[in-house]
Amino acid sequence: MSDAIKLYDFTTSPNCQRVKVVLEEKGLAYETVPVDLRKREQKAPEYLAMNPYGKVPVLVDGDTVLYESCIINEYLEEKYPAPALLPADPSTRAHIRILIDYGIVHTNDSHQAIRAEMMKPEGERDADALAAAKARFIEELQPLEKELEGRDYMAGDFSLLDAAHFPRVMRHVQWSILPDPGLPLLDAWYQRMTERPSVRAIL
Ligand SMILES: N[C@@H](CCC(=O)N[C@@H](CS)C(=O)NCC(=O)O)C(=O)O
């Protein structure tokens, strides 16, 4: 059996992309194992034995089997510390973790409301519901915009914070929810992110 890290992956899943960016940034050799979400392969008993939540991604590194993308990324940072994707200072690390949680959990309701509309055929979308969710989402992204004042990346240097937020922002760019005139720094950051070899490698 190969010793390479395995990532159970669905190519377009933002949660998988978040991990793939970190694997690429760290220059780690890994294999992706496709999981077809449309065929509900993530609910098969063998898969649930690895991830009881029945979701992608799952990372297998030797005897270590992990799920939850942000926790996987923290594991990769601890196990493979170079190049560092978190600063050394505990207070800054904690601040980064707050912002990861904020951007994923605390914007999730508006993100999901937008997603629900975008998944419908164009003619069946509720324009008012979409506009309201968009306004809320844009407002909720303001704290991340603020972090980018005077910085190329959200914590100064590229970090797990940027890897965490890129995939969802990309989804909203694909849906034409972003860029937004109220978030110019986030747009410049997004463009910068798309130039990174790690991001180019996973798209
Ligand atoms: N909190 C989890 C979320 C994982 C997740 O929601 N994955 C989606 C794909 S983006 C999934 O597997 N959906 C299929 C399902 O829920 O059955 C993480 O960060 O890894």
26-39: pLDDT as tens digits: 999 999 999 999 99
Residue keyed to tokens 């747009």 = 187
Instruction: Indicate where the chain has its CATH 1.20.1050.10 domain(s).
Output: 90-202
What is the separation of C-alpha 123 from the centre of its chain, rounded to a whole number of angstroms? 29
CATH number of 5-79: 3.40.30.10
- What distance in angstroms lies between residue 176's CA and the mean position of ligand 1's atoms? 23
Give 3's pLDDT tier (boundaries 50, 70, 90). confident
Cα separation, 114 vs 136, in Å, equals: 10
CATH number of 90-202: 1.20.1050.10
Cα separation, 98 vs 153, in Å, equals: 16
Atom of ligand 1 nearest to the CA of 57: 20
Instruction: Indicate where the chain has its CATH 3.40.30.10 domain(s).
Output: 5-79
Return the pLDDT at 2.
57
Q: Prior bond to 167 cis, omega within 30?
A: no
Atom of ligand 1 nearest to the CA of 72: 20
Beta strands 58-61 and 64-67 are: antiparallel
Give 163's pLDDT tier (boundaries 50, 70, 90). very high
In this structure, the residues whose C-beta lies within 6 A of any atom of ligand 1 are 10, 13-15, 37, 42, 54-57, 68-70
Q: Mutate which of 12, 55, 70, 76 to test ligand 1's pocket (most atoms within 8 Å of Cβ)?
A: 55
* 3-state secondary structure (DSSP) of residue 31: strand
Name the β-bridge partners of 156.
153
Residue keyed to tokens 């890897």 = 163
